[in-house]
Amino acid sequence: MLEPWQIWAVALGGGLCTLGIRMLPMVALRNVGEGRVRDILDRTGFGVMGGLVAQTALSTGQALFVHAGGAPLRSLGMAWGILAVAIAFGLSVRFKWKLPAALIALAFLGLGGLAFSA
Amino acid sequence: MTTEATPPSVGAVLRDALRDSYLVILTFVVMFVGVGRMSALAGLDAVQTALMTLLTVAAPAQAAAMSILAAGSGGGTAWIAAVTSVVVINLRFIVMVASVMARLPRLSMPRSVATLGFLSASSFAVIFPRMIGEAPPRRPALYVGLTCLCCALSATAGAVIGHRSSGAVSPLAGALLGAVVPTYFATLIAGQWKDKALMRNAFAGAVLVPLAAPLLGPSALLLVPLAFAVVTTLVQRRKSHA
C-alpha cells in the first residue's frame, strides 16, 4: 500500500516532469528558425504523426476485434485498422475530404468489429 | 493608401481552434474515461487524477504509471517506477514541441510555456499540419495555446468522469471512438500530399515505428522518425550540392 505522499509524487511529479520535458526545447532550441534544423523537425513531425496513426490504428483495430477472442482475429483486427486508415488517407487525397473521409473509414472499422465480434 | 489587416479576436481564434480540434476533444473525453477509471483503481483521488491529466495529457504514460501502482509490486519504490515510466514515454514531446516552436514567432519563456505547456500528441497532430499548410493561423501562438488547452481540458474532464463513474462507456463503444484518432489524423497527413519529403517521412514512421516499438518501447515514436528525418535531410542536401 502506498503512502499518500507517494501517490502525490506520482500525480504531481509525473505531471511536472512532463511539463519540464516540454520546456526543454524552449530552453535548448531557442533559435530553430530556418534551414536544416527546421527541415529535420518538420520531417520528424510527420514521421511522428505517421507512427502515431499506425500505432493507434493497430491497437484500436485489435481492441475492436478482441471481443471475438483468439490470436488470428486480433491480427485481422490490426490489418483491418490499417486498412481503415488507408481508406481515410486515400479518400482525403482524392476528394480533399477530412471529416467525411474519417467517418467512412470509421464506419468500415466499426462494421468489421461488429461483424467479427458477433 | 494601405490598409493593415486587423488581427482576429481571441473569440475568432478560439472558434478556429475548436473547429480544428473538436474531434480530438470528443475523443479525449471518451479516451480519458479509461484513464480516470485506472487512476481510481490505483488509489488516486479525483483531484490528483485531474491534476496529473491536466499536466500530462498523455493517456499511454498515465495508463503505464497507473498499471505499475495498481500492480503493487516494487513496494515503496513503485512510485519511482511510475514517475520514470511517465518521463520515458513522454520524451516524445521534445520533438513535437521543437517542431511547433520552429513555426512560431520568437516568444518569451512564460509565453512559450503558456503556448506549448499543454501540448499532447493529438493536439500536435491537429496543430502541426495547420502550421505548415497553405492557411496557417494569423495569431499562431494564441491558436496553438488555445488548441492545446481545449484538448487538455477535455482530457481532464474525461478522466474525472471516469474516476467518478466507472463503466460509463462500453468497451466496444470506447474502442470505436478511439478509432477516430487514427482515421482523422490520416486525413490531416493527407493534407500535405504534395510534399513528397513529408509523405516519405510519414510513411516511414507508419511502417518503422510499430516495427521498432517492441525493441525500443515508447521511445520508438521519438527516435525512429528523428533518425529517418536526419538521414533523409542529409542525403537530400548532399544530392542538391552534388
Residue with more model confidence, A59 or A13? A13
Q: What percent of chain B has pLDDT over 90?
A: 39
A50-73: average pLDDT: 79
Rounded Cα–Cα distance for residues B73 and A80 (Å): 36
* Higher-pLDDT residue of A118, B84: B84
Using the beta-carbon criterion (under 8 Å), do B233 and A30 form an inter-chain contact? no
Minimal C-alpha gap between B1 and chain A (Å):
33
The grid coordinates listed for B184 are: 482523422
Q: Is residue A27 part of a domain?
A: no
Is A16 in contact with B55 (Cβ distance < 8 A)?
yes
ipTM above 0.90, yes or no: no
pLDDT, residue B146, reads 97
Q: Which chain A residues are within 8 Å of B101, Cβ to Cβ?
A: 25-26, 29, 32
> According to the model, what pLDDT value does residue B91 have?
85
Q: Is residue A11 part of a domain?
A: no
pLDDT band of B12, cuts 50, 70, 90: very high
pLDDT one-digit tens code per residue, B57-102: 998 788 878 878 887 655 678 889 889 888 887 888 888 898 898 8
A83 vs B: CB within 8 A: no
Residue B20: CB partners within 8 Å, gap ≥ 6?
B126, B127, B130, B147
- What DSSP string runs through B1-27? ---PPPPPPHHHHHHHHHHHHHHHHHH
For residue A18, being part of any structural domain is answered with no
Same domain, B182 and B229: no
Same domain, B171 and B81: yes
The string of pLDDT tens digits covering residues B192-207 is: 898 899 999 999 999 9
Residues in contact with B198: Cβ distance below 8 Å, sequence separation at least 6, in sequence order: A42, A43, A46, B132, B192
Report yes or no on B207 lying in a domain: yes
Q: Is residue B2 part of a domain?
A: no
- The domain total for chain A is 1
Q: How far apart are CA B116 and CA A25, in angstroms?
A: 10
| Residues in chain A closer than 8 A to B120 (CB atoms) | none
On the question of pLDDT at A108 being above 90, the answer is yes
pLDDT of residue B231: 94
- Chain A residues whose CB is inside 8 A of the B65 CB are 10, 14
Looking at the structure, do residues B36 and B101 belong to the same domain, yes or no? yes
State which residues form the domain around B131: 10-192
The confidence score (pLDDT) of residue A118 equals 57
Residue A84 half-sphere exposure toward CB, CA atoms < 13 A: 38
Q: What is the pLDDT of residues B93-137, one digit of tens each?
A: 888 898 898 889 888 889 999 999 999 988 998 999 899 888 899
Asked, for residue B4, whether it belongs to a domain, the answer is no
Residues 34-53 of A with CB under 8 A from B: 36-53
> What pLDDT, on the 0 to 100 scale, is given for residue A110?
86
- Contact assignment for B192 to A46 by CB distance below 8 Å: yes
Is B164 part of a structural domain of the chain? Answer: yes
> Which residues does A19 contact at the CB level (< 8 Å), separation at least 6?
B55, B113, B117
Q: Is the pLDDT of residue A33 over 70?
A: no
Round to whole Å and give the CA distance between A26 and A114. 46
Q: What is the pLDDT of residue B219?
A: 74
What residues in B contact A67, CB-CB < 8 Å?
A: 171-172
Q: Which domain holds residue A72?
A: 37-117
